[in-house]
Structure 1
Amino acid sequence: MAQRLRVASVPAGHPYVERVMASSDLTVQPDPRPVGAPEGQWWPPVVLAPGWIDEHRDQADVLHLHFGLESFTPSELVDAVEAAHRVGWPVVQTVHDLLNPQLANQTPHLAGLDALVPIVDAVVTLTPGAAHEIETRWHRRAVVLPHPRLLPDDLVLPRGVARDVPVIGVHLKDLRPNVDGLGAVRLLLVALDGLSRQGVPATLEVHLHRQVRDQEQRDAIRALCSGRGDVVLLEHDRFDDEALAHALAHLDACLLPYRAGTHSGWLELCWDLGVAVAAPEVGFFAEQHDDPTIGGFAWTDGGAGLVATLAHLLRSTPPAGSDARRRLVAERLRARAQRDAETATAHDDLYRSLLPSGAAR
């Protein structure tokens, strides 16, 4: 029987992390709560604060870095890795984002990658394309382990409600820096008109948080959506897991409104719910699943390509609310369970390969 390994993960309480570290032979240490933070908040991550690793050297065997690294300077990140090595912890970094979707200025994020990727003991990423870029930039061979399911296990996956015409959706959330909400809505309006000319009427559902980072863009989106009977603008608070699943499940296709990015958890949510995805031809979204229900579009062609992509996706995907959608979701759930179990085992194996024999406590 394998000896249990204890992992200090940054963070621990995140759905991605919980899924990929679900091996029964791993114990993931809970996130230390930052001073003054509410229950459940892990950021800024205490594990990387000066002195924490030295003070807790006997509580973990491995350090794994995922998210929240922007809270620290490159020199502070280097200090944390050196502290981990000093106490005998190998350090693994998963490069989720080659560009940080939350930041307008990428310089700090890139400086953090430049500092960390060359000195950690192993690098993980999610797609072959990202691995190739990591090898090109930093001459490090990354282990490719796919994105896991994000929806909770105890959530009964909805299959949506049947509609008379297909529903295409875009979730703009709070208009973070990598989201081009206005550009996405403009392209989708062109696409609606193009689909209609092809005899494929559809409706557009635009979701927007009540609190946004760019109020001027929000106002322009409101103006674009007003006065069209085939467009519904829904402004709401951030969805919880169940509300989000239901909001996505009744769509027939969902457009990702990202001008830049690397990988997408939103795409994974849609895949689990049987919703087709129109993904921009940036980053490595298309590599997350080899599936005809994921199609690409270019921001620069004025929407012409998006018409063809959406027409293909609507033909390739069982409509919301149908028995065929239910069967597709069940099939994907089975495939996801197997793949996620393999990914969790691969993380366990990776950690053990980095430890000296008998080092686990």
Structure 2
Amino acid sequence: MDGRFSGQLGGAATLEKMDTSRATRVGTTSIRVASVPQSHVYVRHLSPVNGSVSVLDTGAVSVTRLPDPVPADGAKVPGGWWPPLMLDPRWIAEHHNEFDVFHLHFGFDAVEPSVMADVLGELDRHGKPLVYTLHDLRNPHHPEPGAHEEVLDLLVPAADEVVTLTPGAAEQISQRWDRSATVLPHPHVVPPGRFAPRETPADEFVVGVHAKSVRANMDPLPVIMTLLEAASDYPDMTIQINLHDEVFVPGNHWYNPDFGTTALALSRHPYARVRVHDYFTDDQLWDYLRGLSVSVLPYRFGTHSGWLEACHDLGTSVIAPSCGFYHEQQECFTYDFTEDRFDPDSLVAALAQAYSARPAAAMWRDRRVQRLSIAEAHAGLYTRVLDA
């Protein structure tokens, strides 16, 4: 999932500071969840806004998610600590008394199948149920699907409960693994204080293509060139191209001087605006997205998107590719873009639709109600796997 934003990391306390007893308040069941990772914005927003208990038909349930253990080098990636120490059979062996349910979301990009098998074996050894939320049928960071699919072939059959975000993904899970997945929508991404009505449309219609660090599933150039050509048909359109400065740093994992040089050269185009910068902070990201009229996702493969959810929160239109299930997450415009094909005309048509539309920003009261429902669904799910 592409919702690994910069700056969106919660504070991470050490496990030693946590109460390791399974406390039970009067009339309330307390469940401790080891989430991987806890600090990602998606995971943090699976809890009620005010931290209250979830009231279910079976009674009140309080869910506590363990903070992410901090690696010795303190290394982070956007969305969590790296590597996630909970995805280590030794950590599970040493800390299994501190959690009741293990819930995996992200963070196993570099985990070998043999290690994941050991993780699953250690959970089974200690009788800890596994919940797996399948965000990515195809890992957006892997150029080839094989390694991710090997791990999925272990996780999906082994999980006590499988969750995903869209009906289309659930259907794929059913077809590939004969598992029934619970479909729960993606919660809001933007914080409550950032929800606000869209301002009067600006004099400039800004189309954003955020190339980030040009990860494996991105192919921005054909998208950008098509948009630049189409922009000449509009009186007020600017194509804004953003990329991270690390693509110019030799030795960096994301070093990509060919794309960087090509992107910079586009700054001479009359309809282009090129911005090179470090990872945005949260506030910078929200300002950037709200400043766009439409955000175009240049993905040739993928499944779901946190970026799309943030745009929905802020009232920024999205043009999403036909791959994956972005169109099932939120209302958006689509164009034909996959690993095998690109239809420029479909992108031009989607641009015309987006130009004529002026969507309203999401309302916090609606997202708050949805978040409460999602929190209750997870509390019920954890209760179910513990009672099984």
Same fold (TM over 0.5): yes
Find the aligned partners of 1:39 and 1:311 in 2 and give their Cα distance.
40
Give the one of 26, 33, 37 matched to 1:11.
37
- From the superposition, tell whether residues 279 and 39 of structure 1 become closer, same or farther in structure 2 (CA, over 3 Å): closer
**For the residues of structure 2 that align with 1:161 and 1:209, how far apart are their CA atoms?**
30
* 2:335 aligned residue (294, 297, 300): 297
**2:72 counterpart of 1:35:** yes
The residue number in structure 1 matching 2:237 is 202
Q: Closer, same or farther in 2 for the Cα pair 1:147/1:156, shift >3 Å?
A: closer
**Residue of structure 2 equivalent to 1:76:** 115
CA deviation string 1:51-94 (max 9, x = no partner): 22122122111000011112321122122122112222110001
Structure 2 counterpart of 1:333: 364
In the alignment, structure 1 residue 221 sits paired with structure 2 residue 263: yes
- Describe the SS at the equivalent of 1:51: helix
Change (3 A) 1:30 1:215: same
Moved over 6 A (4+): none
Which letter does structure 2 place at the counterpart of 1:135? S
Helix, strand or coil: the match of 2:241? Answer: strand
1:288 matched to 2:329? The reply is yes
SS of 2:82 mapped into structure 1: coil
- Tell me, yes or no, if the aligned pair for 1:276 and 1:313 is still in contact at 8 Å: yes
- In 1, Cα distance between equivalents of 2:197 and 2:289: 9
In structure 2, the residue matched to 1:267 is: 308
Bigger mean CA offset, 102-111 vs 300-309? 300-309
Using the alignment, how far apart are the partners of 1:121 and 1:348 within structure 2?
15
- Counterpart residue type for residue 242 of structure 2: H
Alpha-carbon contact 2:75-2:82 (below 8 Å) kept: no
Higher helix share: 1
Partner SS, residue 263 of structure 1: coil
- Which residue does the alignment assign to 2:56? none
User: Would you say how many aligned residue pairs link Structure 1 and Structure 2?
Assistant: 339
**Do the aligned residues in 2 keep the contact of 1:159 with 1:273 (CA within 8 Å)?**
yes
CA distance in 1 between counterparts of 2:260 and 2:162 reads 38
Is structure 2 residue 385 aligned with structure 1 residue 354?
yes
Name whichever of 146-155 and 231-240 sits farther off.
Answer: 146-155
- In the alignment, is the contact (CA less than 8 A) between 2:32 and 2:98 conserved in 1? yes
Q: Indicate the residue corresponding to 2:46 in structure 1.
A: 20
The answer on whether the counterparts of 1:70 and 1:112 sit within 8 Å (CA) in structure 2 is no
User: Counterpart amino acid of 2:111?
Assistant: F
The question of 1:243 aligning with 2:284 is answered: yes
* CA displacement at 1:210 relative to structure 2: 1.1
Question: Match of 2:131?
Answer: 92
Q: Which moved more, 1:174-183 or 1:152-161?
A: 152-161
- Residue 109 of structure 2 contacts residue 141 of structure 2 at CA under 8 Å; is this kept in 1? no
Residue of 337, 340, 352 corresponding to 1:311:
352
Aligned partners of 1:236 and 1:39: how far apart in 2?
A: 19
> What's the Cα RMSD here?
2.0
Q: Is the 8 A contact 1:21 1:348 kept in 2?
A: no
Q: Quote the Cα distance in structure 1 between the aligned partners of 2:358 and 2:222.
A: 25
Q: Could you tell me which of 146, 155, 178 is aligned with 2:185?
A: 146
C-alpha distance in structure 1 between counterparts of 2:301 and 2:257, whole Å: 21
Output the CA distance in 1 between the equivalents of 2:334 and 2:201: 25
For 2:366 and 2:192, locate their aligned partners in 1 and report how far apart those are by CA, in whole Å. Answer: 14
Q: Following TM superposition, by how much is the alpha carbon of 1:2 offset from its aligned partner in structure 2, in angstroms?
A: 2.8
Q: Deviations over 1:246-289 (max 9, x none)?
A: 11101111100111100011111111010111001100000002
Which amino acid in structure 2 is aligned with residue 235 of structure 1?
A: V
Question: Which segments of 5 or more consecutive residues in structure 2 lack a partner in the other structure?
Answer: 1-26, 54-61, 248-253
Shift of 1:161: 7.4
Q: Check conservation: 2:203, 2:236, Cα contact below 8 A.
A: no
> What displacement does 1:332 show?
2.8
Contact 1:158/1:249, CA 8 A, preserved across alignment: no
1:217-248 Cα deviation digits (max 9, x unpaired): 2222223x233222111111110110011111
SS at match of 1:182: helix
- Cα contact 1:155–1:242 (8 A) shared by 2: no
The structural deviation recorded for 1:333 is 2.2
* CA 349–238 in structure 1, closer or farther in 2 if over 3 Å, else same: same
User: Within 1, Cα distance between the matches of 2:346 and 2:378?
Assistant: 39
Q: Structure 1: which 5+ runs fail to align?
A: 319-327
Aligned to 2:298: 257
- Change in CA separation of 1:246 and 1:339 when aligned onto 2, cut-off 3 Å: same
